[in-house]
Structure 1
């Protein structure tokens, strides 16, 4: 392991804090056999990663977020959990688990949208129709 170079103080171009290149002294381990400085770099680190499948299963994350924000927060939150599970299984190459989680997320999203639409229709009927008939 090379140590940092040892510098000596000197005056260079009128600046008392500057160091002249001729005054730089390198540590013995930082020089090669021609007494030239050697650059020591850290070797690269390679990580083994699994490649994603060529045809990944859809995770319906956008649909899950829409369901959560616009329709039914409970079913949308559960759909987000299954969408994340499908995304992770896709990344790990577990296609069967990804397909199962994806299918569950899709069903929860469909149910959440239907529940949300029913609630919106009931709210609108209550606001505009029933309030006019009952003062």
Structure 2
């Protein structure tokens, strides 16, 4: 009971798959042959993707506080706080809790110092403005 099998690579006008290519019809370029005239397999390097997911309960980034500090109190310390707030947001998105917590703490400290510096400068400005107007 021998069954007639269909050819593995049908060719001709009545072929089932017109896009099938017979292995004997493949011609290799001379640039892809090694010294023994054997075909060389060229493989792309693997692509590694980050498997980290965003944190379910992210660390606070103090972005609004940093914007307030930049615009209303101290532009230098506020910009540094903005940098750390963005770094916190990026670390939260990458799932790196330790880095996010460190950047968050730095942003908070810079914001507090910026507000204190801004209040001191504003207080000194008002004091000297009033003092100089009286004299």
TM-score (norm 1): 0.61
- Tell me which residue corresponds to 1:24: none
- Tell me which residue corresponds to 2:102: 100
Paired with 1:58 and 1:115, the residues of 2 have a C-alpha distance of 23
Aligned pairs for 1:62-73 within 5 A: 62-73=64-75
Q: What CA deviation, in whole Å up to 9, does each residue of 1:98-127 have, x standing for no partner?
A: 000000000000000000000000000111
Unaligned runs of 5+ in 2: 1-48
Paired with 2:58 and 2:116, the residues of 1 have a C-alpha distance of 27
TM-score (norm 2): 0.61
- Tell me which residue corresponds to 1:90: 92
Paired with 2:85 and 2:54, the residues of 1 have a C-alpha distance of 16
Change (3 A) 1:57 1:122: same
Match of 1:109 among 87, 108, 111: 111
Paired with 1:126 and 1:118, the residues of 2 have a C-alpha distance of 12
Deviating above 4 A after TM superposition, structure 1's stretches of 4 or more consecutive aligned residues are 47-50
- Tell me which residue corresponds to 2:79: 77
Give the RMSD, CA atoms, in angstroms: 1.7
